[in-house]
């Protein structure tokens, strides 16, 4: 458990020595980041440019070997990278950038896992309603052997109870990874709203938002990239599996808080209730949109136990974490605010989730 920190301590002086070397003026290292063929994982590679980019539109379209990422055949392997969002690089510092990209096939049509393309179109159509989102990304930290970090190698930790928002070495594991990720997000410009230890030991959560429209998906994907990249420095793996440990352990979700301007204004509860009715009528469609395998991953988590509603049923309730849609207590009391969709899985694509919610509730 402590080996990872020892390795990190030995590496840091060497890394800092090289990263502190000066580079030529107006030279920028731009790390292009994209979603691969799984629809769940990210890839990245770096390009040097001879200027300091201020917006993604200034950067060149690039390409990669799609046959190595599950996005093309070897006989026609080039897939294009279109820069769409720019972030500060918390690893290389200085003027260096992280560049979130959309992927396009050889014929310039969106790649199969490029769901940002249609999400942006939907968000533009609903722009006057000002759709806001806040997504709660749960994840599990794993040791190099893919065993939950900090768990006994030949057994299990004590039952769930003391771990949620816990404090103390017997209750939480790898807080240093979590705090490092938090700072990296703040530095990069990701709209991270907070973090906490979750119900299962070695399970954590970070929240992104409130973000309007397409920025929700952009910032959550970049937040995920930063999480994997920070954990890499500690020799720890990150799992977004919605049920990483079978049995009497909580799964991992990506609860999605949503509101429109009308919901956030006085009397907005009426609009919230109408939105819930629409979401209920399209439950099956949303389940397909809420994990990369159209419900098959999420079916292991949405069992009606461990603070979930059954994947087969739709329900809503005030302060009810066993419902599909939760209306926060404060929202019910004040009569306006937002709703929480508790169905999306931890490995969902936020572009698909937010697009589905806006299509169902905002576009007739």
pLDDT of residue 16: 78
Tokens read off for 197: 């230890």
Structural domain ending residue among the three candidates 114, 133, 166: 114
| 25 shares its domain with 74 | yes
Rounded to two decimals, the pTM is 0.95
pLDDT tier for residue 3 given thresholds of 50, 70 and 90: very low
Those residues whose C-beta lies under 8 Å from the C-beta of residue 44, and which sit 6 or more positions away, are 31, 32, 33, 34, 225, 229
Cα of first residue to Cα of last residue in the chain, in angstroms, is: 53
The DSSP letter of residue 314 is: -
CB 323 within 8 A of CB 347: no
Q: What does the pLDDT read at residue 178?
A: 98
8 A C-beta contact, residue 306 and residue 198: no
- Report percent pLDDT > 90 for the chain: 91
pLDDT digits (tens, 9 = 90+) for 129-160: 999 999 999 999 999 899 999 999 888 999 99
Q: What is the largest CA-CA distance in the chain?
A: 61
Q: For 272-314, write each residue's pLDDT tens digit.
A: 999 999 999 999 999 999 999 999 999 999 999 999 999 999 9
Please tell me the number of Cα atoms within 13 Å of 312 on its side-chain side.
2
Residue 159, both tokens: 């039952």
User: Within this chain, do residues 223 and 243 fall inside the same structural domain, yes or no?
Assistant: yes
The pLDDT, as a whole number, for residue 204 is 98
**Helices H / strands E in the chain, number of each:** 9, 13
Whether residues 217 and 339 fall in one domain: yes
User: Dihedral angle at the C-alpha atoms of 115, 195, 98, 350, nearest 10 degrees?
Assistant: 0
pLDDT at site 287: 97
User: What's residue 7's pLDDT?
Assistant: 56
Same domain, 46 and 154: no
Tell me: do 94 and 127 sit in the same domain. Answer: no
Domain that holds residue 234: 123-362
pLDDT at 8: 59
- The CA distance from 140 to 127, in Å, is 35
Name the pLDDT band for 5 (thresholds 50, 70, 90). low
By the 8 A CB rule, do 188 and 182 touch? Answer: no
SS3 45: strand
* Together in a domain, 99 and 184: no
* pLDDT tens-digit series, residues 313-359: 999 999 999 999 999 999 999 999 999 999 999 999 999 999 999 99
Residue 122 CA, chain-centre distance (Å), reads: 20
d(CA 43, CA 36): 6
* 170 DSSP 8-state letter: T
Q: Is the pLDDT of residue 58 over 80?
A: yes
Last residue of a domain, one of 114, 134, 151: 114
pLDDT tens figures, 206-234 = 999 999 999 999 999 999 999 999 999 99
CB 202 within 8 A of CB 236: no
Give the model's pLDDT for residue 364: 75
Backbone angles phi, psi at 17, to 5 degrees: -60, -45
Same domain, 216 and 292: yes
How many other C-beta atoms lie within 10 A of the C-beta of residue 239? 18
Separation between Cα atoms, residue 209 and residue 256, nearest integer Å: 10
Residue that has been written with the tokens 């931890």 in this structure:
346
Encoded tokens for 280: 């209920």
**What is the rounded distance in angstroms from the CA atom of residue 6 to the CA atom of residue 148?**
19
pLDDT value for 250: 95
CB 35 within 8 A of CB 42: yes
CATH of the domain at 133: 3.30.590.10
My answer on whether 101 and 227 are in the same domain is no
CATH of the domain at 49: 3.10.20.70
Number of domains in the chain: 2
98 and 131 fall within a common domain:
no
**Stretch 114-134: mean pLDDT, rounded?**
98
Q: What is the per-residue pLDDT across 61-97, written as a single tens digit (0 to 9) for each?
A: 999 999 999 999 988 999 999 999 999 999 999 999 9
Q: What is the pLDDT of residue 2?
A: 43
Same domain, 102 and 37: yes
Q: Are 161 and 14 found together in one domain?
A: no
Q: d(Cα 332, Cα 8) in Å, to the nearest integer?
A: 48
Out of 84, 114, 144, a domain closes at: 114
- Dig out the tokens for 146 from the structure: 């893919």
Which residues fall within 8 angstroms of residue 18, CB to CB, at 6 or more apart?
none
Q: Is the same domain home to 75 and 129?
A: no
């Amino acid at each position: 458990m402590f080996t990872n920190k020892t390795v990190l301590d030995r590496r840091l002086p060497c890394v800092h020595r090289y990263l502190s070397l000066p580079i030529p003026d107006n030279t920028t290292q731009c790390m292009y980041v994209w979603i691969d063929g799984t629809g769940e994982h990210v890839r990245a590679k770096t390009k040097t440019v001879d200027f300091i980019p201020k917006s993604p539109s200034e950067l060149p379209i690039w390409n990669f070997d799609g046959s190595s990422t599950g996005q093309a055949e070897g006989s026609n392997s080039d897939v294009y990278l279109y820069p769409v969002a720019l972030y500060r690089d918390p690893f290389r510092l200085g003027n260096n950038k992280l560049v979130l990209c959309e992927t396009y096939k050889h014929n310039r049509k969106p790649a199969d896992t490029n769901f940002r393309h249609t999400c942006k179109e939907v968000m533009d159509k609903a722009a006057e309603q000002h759709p806001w989102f806040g997504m709660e990304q749960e994840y599990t930290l794993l040791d190099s052997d893919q065993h939950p970090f900090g768990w006994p190698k030949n057994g299990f930790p004590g039952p769930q109870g003391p771990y949620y928002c816990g404090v103390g070495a017997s209750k939480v594991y790898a807080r240093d990874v979590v705090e490092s990720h938090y700072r990296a997000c703040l530095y990069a410009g990701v709209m991270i709203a907070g973090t906490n230890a979750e119900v299962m030991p070695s399970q954590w959560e970070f929240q992104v938002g409130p973000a309007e429209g397409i920025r929700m998906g952009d910032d959550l994907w970049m937040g995920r990239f930063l999480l994997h990249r920070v954990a890499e420095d500690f020799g720890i793996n990150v799992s977004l599996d919605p049920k990483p440990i079978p049995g009497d352990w909580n799964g991992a979700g990506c609860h999605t808080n949503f509101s429109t301007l009308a919901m956030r204004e006085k009397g907005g509860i009426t609009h919230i209730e109408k939105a819930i009715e629409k979401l209920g009528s399209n439950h099956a469609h949303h389940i397909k949109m809420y994990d990369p395998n159209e419900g098959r991953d999420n079916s292991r988590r949405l069992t009606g136990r461990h603070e979930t509603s059954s994947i087969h049923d739709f329900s809503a309730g005030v302060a009810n974490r066993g419902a599909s849609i939760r209306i926060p207590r404060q929202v019910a009391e004040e009569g306006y605010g937002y709703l929480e969709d508790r169905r999306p899985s931890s490995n969902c694509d936020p572009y698909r989730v937010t697009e589905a919610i806006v299509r169902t509730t905002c576009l007739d």
